Amino acid sequence: MTEGPLSDVLVLDLTRALAGPHAAMMLGDMGARVIKVESPSGDDSRGWGPPFLGEGDDRESTYFMSANRNKESIVLDLKSEADQDVLARLVERADVLMENFRVGVLDRLGFSVERLHELNPRLVVLSITGFGHDGPEASRSGYDQIAQGEGGLMSITGTEQPTKVGVPIADLVAGMYGAYGVVAALHERNRTGRGRVVRTSLLAGMVGVHAYQGTRWTVGGEVPGLAGDHHPSISPYGMFATGTAPVQIACGSEGLWRALCNAFGWDPAEAAFATNALRVANRGALIERIEGLFADQPAEHWLELLSAAGVPSGMVRSMDAVYTWDQTRSQGLVIDVEHATKGRLELPGSPIRFDDNPYSGGRSTHLAPPTLGQHDASIREWLES
């Protein structure tokens, strides 16, 4: 047993790759016991690399490690009657089952929603698909980059051509929405005594994060284009070249615009830039003016000046700079775990903290991502207890 707000919740994670594993990991971070059910060949992402840690049969994928902390692993061949029986007994004890098979696969394995709820009426089932469980394209398999394109995100990302986000954002967002839906269903179960099915998809996740870009079309009738490095509705708000590295500025109010002008010795009421609407309309000229000023000094000079003026600004950090930054570490965003074969590792931590816990997530200690079948014996022994 462990501490955390979900420490009384048992999750069966039948998912693989990223969307489902990320959802299950979020619940594990909050203290849930997560049992990852893997096929004999393991989660697909165990083979995704490089980079790997170790060599040959002893290697572990750093990709897999990113989505599977705070879990146990059991290997089950769901085409085997004996292993189907093990899964059925796990379902009877579980609070949540997560799956991201293609539509109909779990039914063919003998674990339809009806069967799952016969085994355990209180079970909350999370189903994550690529494009939704019904509709004309429900049968399509879901891959992140395809969903980024089909879901519109790539059409607004980039400068000269559509560009994918640098992480599998469709997978990650679907996982986040899935975890959110599960927690809501668990809360409802406290009133009704019954579980329900929660459904989301990579497509739903992409549409769900359109924010103001979505309402530009649905309300405003305007089709957004590539946003590049500058905000489409606020200016100056974006990335600007300096004599060395780029600097980012966010003037999200007229007060901040005046503060920036005071710092640069400009007139905030200048006709071409007097309002945000004018600055958006004349963005190109404003960028040229700012970058012309910035060209003579290094980024550090401008960041110091902007900070002193109270204008939100920042650098573009590389990944190594982020993980060695004292602010990142002060927030519990880097955690130590003891891996079964690789020893002590540092992993990215949960983005959530609670007021009585200085650590990342809802627990003070975290489990390393499991090796394949690491907990077979202990889980089977627990089922017999």
Domains, the chain:
10-209+329-384 (3.40.50.10540), 247-315 (no CATH)
Calculate the alpha carbon distances from 196 to 107, 116, 183, 192 in Å: 16, 11, 11, 10
Q: The tokens of 318 are what? A: 């590389």
Report how far residue 5's alpha carbon sits from residue 8's, in angstroms, rounded to the nearest whole number: 8
Which residue reads 């994918």 in tokens? 164
Query: What distance, in Å, lies between the first and last C-alpha atoms of the chain?
Result: 16
DSSP-assigned beta bridge partners for residue 52: 61
The pLDDT score that the predictor gives to residue 218 is 98
d(CA 33, CA 27) in angstroms, rounded, equals: 8
Under 8 Å CB-to-CB from 233, ≥6 apart: which residues?
A: 212, 280
Q: Which residue type is seen at 283?
A: R
Amino acid identity of 290? Answer: I
Secondary structure of residue 275 in the 3-state scheme: coil
- 21 prior amide bond cis, ω within 30: no
Q: What is the pTM of this model?
A: 0.93
DSSP output for 192-246:
HS---EEEEEHHHHHHHT-THHHHHHHTT-------TTB-SSSSSEEEE--SSS-
Closest of 31, 9, 2 to residue 190, by C-alpha: 9
pLDDT, one tens digit per residue, over 211-263 is 999 999 999 999 999 989 999 999 999 999 999 999 999 999 999 999 999 99
Separation between Cα atoms, residue 50 and residue 378, nearest integer Å: 31
Provide the annotated active-site residues: 171
Residue 1 has a pLDDT of: 47
Q: Which residue's entry shows tokens 């796990």? A: 90
- Residue 259 contacts by C-beta under 8 Å, 6 or more apart in sequence? 309, 310, 311
Alpha-carbon span 64 to 54, nearest angstrom? 14
How many other CB atoms are there within 10 angstroms of residue 341's CB atom? Answer: 12
The rounded average pLDDT for each run of 10 residues, N- to C-terminus, in the chain (385 residues) is: 86 97 97 97 95 91 97 97 97 98 92 97 97 94 96 96 97 98 98 98 98 96 94 95 96 97 96 97 97 96 97 96 96 94 96 80 90 97 94
Q: Are residues 238 and 248 in contact, defined by beta-carbon separation less than 8 angstroms?
A: yes
Structure tokens at 242: 């300096």
**By the 8 A CB rule, do 294 and 283 touch?**
no
Q: Strand, helix or coil at 281?
A: helix
The answer to whether 178 and 26 have CB atoms below 8 angstroms apart is: no
Q: Which amino acid is at 139?
A: S
What distance in Å separates the CA atoms of residue 21 and residue 132, rounded to the nearest whole number?
A: 18
Tell whether the torsion through CA atoms of 322, 323, 329 and 331 is positive or negative: positive
